[in-house]
Structure 1
Amino acid sequence: MKKIILLISTILFALCFTNCKEKTYFKEIVSEKNVNIAMAEFPKDKEDFVITIPFEFNLYLNNFSNIWFVGIYYKKDNRLSMIIDDYVIYDSQTDKAIFSLDRYQYPNYPKSIYLVERKIKISKEDAQKLIEKYNPKTAVENIKSTNDTIPLVSYKKFREDNPKFIEELRRIPDSITFVIQKRKEKKPIQVKAKINW
């Protein structure tokens, strides 16, 4: 009898483990990509700067052979953000921009991606302080156009060093939603997760 109970328990555990594994499409990780200082896209004067912050996700889409469409929707401060205008998606391995995951199919989805938030404004004074701390050989005056960026430090390190800044990012919860359409299923799956910054 004990052997039967043990066998049933093992089978149930295996089924639960398999079902749980099947539901994991992505997972946020703390990025090692750089935080940068840049000029705002449409600067009104020489004091319009942004801090670009990467947030990264491991993707497990290649575990599902029946996926044929994946859409990504990012909400910042309770507002749906626009790809390119507000953020850019990159392949973590190649650092190449991805404008849509539609160009990929199973089993060729990227293993990980990172999004770069492009519109977090920062004062010239705060930008200069961060540059002096992380990249003292340059200065905020070296940013003369929207193509110029000054790398600071990995997001992982930035996050450790600047808890108040991270608290402010978390003040209004941000989220990411993956909309996944599988073959032979009428309704897409919507998987939403809070961004932990």
Structure 2
Amino acid sequence: HLLYTNPQTMKLTWLTKDDGQPVISTGATVAPRNLEVVAHWGFDVFFGKHAFARIGWAGDFWNSIYEQSHQGIGLQVNLIKRRRPFYVRVIGGHSRLRYARKIGQATNEFGKFKAGKKKFKAEKINMYYGSRTHYVEGTLELAVEANRHLEIFARGTWQKAFAEQSHIYLWERREIFRKKARIPLNDQTEVLQNGVPFRGNIIERNPLFFSVGVIFK
């Protein structure tokens, strides 16, 4: 998935509720990234030969928090019927993307504390910054059936965001049962980008994005 994030210096701090003192904090220069390798699970339910409904979910393999779900309806046409099938699909629907970059690993010298309705106690806690965004979208998909169980596809999608909320994420390390919390920005969160308070999206805005991959059937 082609997804652009620009280089930037970020600092995250979780503060005490009563007097706003730092509990844990970390900061680093976030390297630019143009690509996320993700796995996608989903299925199409057909109504007749051409119309179908699609439900799917995608997640990343490393480095980031990437979770995307989508639902839509579409039409499919097979342009080559006598030989290897070549499908053209047009889909409209809704998607929700939750994406965050790891900013760094904080050392917890404060001790036990509560965040996002969970109690944290680990000495090392990873801190992420990102957002959850809802989109309406339209997709054009081209797919070649390599065999009965495998398709190769190229997909272009236009998206329009209509709701967004920024978050920090805390994830314990070096614990058997590692707690994880997603926390909307509030009075206990301090986010700085290049030394300036920041509440925006770290993804470079682009209404068009492209994906390529294989589908196992």
Scaled by the length of structure 1, the TM-score of the pair is: 0.30
Scaled by the length of structure 2, the TM-score of the pair is: 0.28
Q: Higher strand fraction: Structure 1 or Structure 2?
A: 2
